[in-house]
């Protein structure tokens, strides 16, 4: 059980906003914080990790108090058991992939975890390379593995995939899911990508100007009404063409291009670039705009 109550005046590019966050997470949850930049998502993660101090607030993880401004308790980042993955990876350039992971070991920790993690993120062949020889996706896999060396119970991901292309993103999402399950993590993700959120998280919190305005399952939040569907995928509209009496909507789902027949009424509010859900009810796939 993780309980957060954080309050801070944040000075952002758009002016000062007042961040007021109250959250309670269950162990094993995969939670996403979603919102425009400057809404306070990253600040929330940084306060949880101890990299930023709130003006006042409380953080309780299981029975341990990490922060209580009234009682003047504020654990340093070093004393909070957390894995943190930065947007730009923050790998140490002077160390090889393996050394980056080994650096994270605690005193007397069994080194088996290094080989285990290297195997999971498939970096065996690259383990003696320096990070600057690696692609963005490979670097992010190293960062992900490094964050888990100390076996934290909480994993914080600050827009970890935003610098990657679609193909790489999807592969990394699979790694994240795998690690989340294998290590029984409670994961908090900051993301802008609705497809990613639908795929990864079980709960999403929408932040607007420092406060949580909506929360729920990603499907409930991002689609206007619940659909009963046999299968469903999220993708991006890349083309809409008229074909006789119907329309052909081309959707990019992951790396696959899918063509879907739609009625004129269905494409009314669709434009190229929209994120959509493609789902099948009985026989016909239906297509619906997301958020």
Partner 1 sequence: MMNWEPLILTFKLAIITTAILFVLGIPLAYWLAYSKSKIKPVIETLVSMPLVLPPTVLGFYLLVAFSPNNAFGNWINEWLGLRLIFSFEGLVIASILYSLPFMVQPIQAGLAGLPSNYKEASYVLGKSKFITLLKVLLPNIKPALLTGIVLSFAHTIGEFGVVLMIGGNIPGETKVASIAIYDEVEALNYDTANMYSLILLVITFSILLTVYLINGGYLKKYGR
Residues within the interface to partner 1 (CB under 8 A) = 49-51, 76-80, 82-84, 86, 88, 90, 92-94, 103-104, 106, 146-147, 149-150
**Cβ closest to partner 1, residue 101 vs residue 200:** 101
Shortest distance (Å) from residue 93 CB to partner 1? 6
**Cβ closest to partner 1, residue 77 vs residue 216:** 77
Shortest distance (Å) from residue 234 CB to partner 1? 30
**Cβ closest to partner 1, residue 147 vs residue 277:** 147
Contact status, residue 140 vs residue 175, Cβ threshold 8 Å: no
Shortest distance (Å) from residue 115 CB to partner 1? 18
Shortest distance (Å) from residue 92 CB to partner 1? 5
- Cα separation, 217 vs 206, whole angstroms: 11
**Cβ closest to partner 1, residue 77 vs residue 124:** 77
**Cβ closest to partner 1, residue 6 vs residue 82:** 82
How many CB atoms are closer than 10 A to CB 228? Answer: 7
Shortest distance (Å) from residue 45 CB to partner 1? 11
């Amino acid at each position: 059980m993780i309980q957060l109550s954080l309050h801070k005046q944040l000075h952002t590019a758009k002016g000062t906003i007042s961040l007021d966050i109250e959250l309670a997470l269950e162990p094993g949850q995969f939670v996403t914080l979603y919102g425009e930049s400057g809404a306070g998502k990253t600040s929330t993660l940084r306060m949880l990790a101890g990299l930023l101090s709130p003006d006042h607030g409380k953080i309780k993880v299981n029975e341990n108090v990490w922060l209580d401004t009234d009682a003047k308790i504020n654990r340093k980042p070093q004393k909070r058991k957390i894995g943190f993955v930065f947007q730009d990876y923050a790998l140490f350039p002077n160390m090889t992939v393996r050394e980056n992971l080994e650096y994270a070991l605690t005193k007397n920790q069994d080194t088996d975890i290094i080989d285990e993690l290297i195997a999971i993120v498939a970096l065996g062949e690259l383990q003696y390379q320096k990070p600057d020889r690696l692609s963005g996706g490979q670097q992010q896999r190293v960062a992900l593995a490094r964050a888990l060396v100390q076996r934290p119970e909480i994993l914080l991901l600050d827009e970890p995939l935003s610098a990657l292309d679609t193909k790489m993103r999807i592969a990394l999402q699979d790694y994240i899911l795998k690690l989340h399950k294998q290590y029984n993590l409670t994961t908090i993700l900051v993301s802008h990508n609705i497809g990613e959120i639908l795929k990864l998280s079980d709960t999403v919190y929408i932040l607007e100007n420092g406060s949580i305005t909506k929360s729920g399952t990603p499907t409930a939040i991002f689609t206007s009404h619940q659909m009963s569907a046999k299968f469903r995928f999220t993708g991006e509209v890349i083309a809409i063409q008229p074909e006789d009496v119907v329309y052909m909507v081309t959707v990019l789902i992951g790396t696959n291009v899918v063509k879907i027949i739609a009625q004129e009424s269905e494409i009314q509010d669709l434009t190229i670039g929209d994120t959509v859900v493609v789902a099948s009810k009985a026989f016909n796939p239906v297509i619906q705009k997301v958020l």
